[in-house]
C-alpha cells in the first residue's frame, strides 16, 4: 500500500523491521509459509493496534 500511494519502492527489510517492532500492530500466527521454496517465512495477522506508531514517513 505504501509503495502504491507514494509511487516508489520501499526497502523490504526496513519496512518489515518497522512494522514488526511496533507493539500490537502484527501478531505471529505460529505458522510458516513454504511457498516458493527457500527459507520458510513466518506468517502474521493484524494485531489490535490500527495505527503504526511512530508513523512510517517517506524520505525527502
**Residue 40 lies inside a defined structural domain of this protein:** yes
**Residue 39 lies inside a defined structural domain of this protein:** yes
**Residue 21 lies inside a defined structural domain of this protein:** yes
Q: Is the pTM of this model over 0.85?
A: no
pLDDT digits (tens, 9 = 90+) for 18-53: 988 999 999 999 999 988 778 898 999 999 998 888
* Segments forming the whole domain that contains residue 25: 2-46
C-alpha cell at 7: 509511487
* Number of domains composing the chain: 1
Respond yes or no on whether the N-terminal peptide bond of residue 60 is cis (omega within 30° of 0).
no
Give the sign of the dihedral formed by CA 11, CA 20, CA 5, CA 33.
Answer: positive
Contacts of 34 (CB under 8 A, 6+ apart): 40
Give the pLDDT confidence score for residue 47 in this predicted structure. 94
Amino acid at each position: 500500500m505504501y509503495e502504491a500511494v507514494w509511487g516508489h519502492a520501499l526497502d523490504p527489510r526496513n519496512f518489515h523491521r518497522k512494522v514488526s517492532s511496533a507493539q500490537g500492530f502484527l501478531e505471529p500466527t505460529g505458522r510458516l509459509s513454504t511457498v516458493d521454496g527457500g527459507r520458510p517465512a513466518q506468517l502474521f495477522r493484524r494485531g489490535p493496534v490500527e495505527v503504526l506508531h511512530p508513523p512510517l514517513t517517506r524520505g525527502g
